[in-house]
Amino acid sequence: RLPPGATVIPIILSSDKTQLTSFSGNKQAWPVYLTIGNIGKDTRRKVTKHATVLVGYLPVTKLTCCSKSHRGVQSARLFHRCMAEILKPLIAAGTSGVWMGCADGYIRHCFPILSEYVADNPEQTLIACCKSNRCPICTVPRDNRGDGNAHPLRDLKRTLKDLQASRFNYFTSTYVTSGLHP
């Protein structure tokens, strides 16, 4: 429950790994952007309105220090660890609230809460801890995608339990059947 007069600030994050060069070094960047849902989408979507801010860059590395079979796992862990660090101040602010100046000149007790994460399919599967050939929303087997049948939605508690149970063995039957990526 929020205190009287408090305001919720819906936070919208977006990220997209971007290819910077093709022929001279194969350089990539992975920016993470933030905007708020209280701004109208006609304003929020215009770059010239400066309604989106860059909050950080995620590392893009080939992880040559790891064996090939573990690079995907370590890359996913690196992504989640970096996002946890980037979002740490947001978690504290969403729990306790922060005092912010509003456009009307008043100071308000605001609670920023992550409401959306805009990402393409490869990032959605990475965020959902599932393999790239799986659905990030439901548990449809990879060979049944597009069959028109309804499949159970992914359950956060179940996913966390499966990840914890198979923490050091990435090739258990749980990972294979649920399509998880540790």
- Number of Cβ within a 10 Å radius of residue 21: 9
Residues 121/135, Cβ–Cβ less than 8 Å: no
- Is residue 170 over pLDDT 70? no
In whole angstroms, give the CA distance from residue 165 to residue 169: 9
State both tokens at 139. Answer: 């548990």
Read off the pLDDT of each residue in 150-174 and give the average, rounded to a whole number.
75
- Is residue 155 over pLDDT 80? yes
More confident residue, 50 or 22: 50
State both tokens at 161. Answer: 């339990």
Query: What pLDDT does residue 181 have?
Result: 63
pTM, two decimal places: 0.80
For the chain, list the strands marked E by DSSP.
7-15, 18-19, 28-29, 31-36, 53-57, 98-101, 107-118
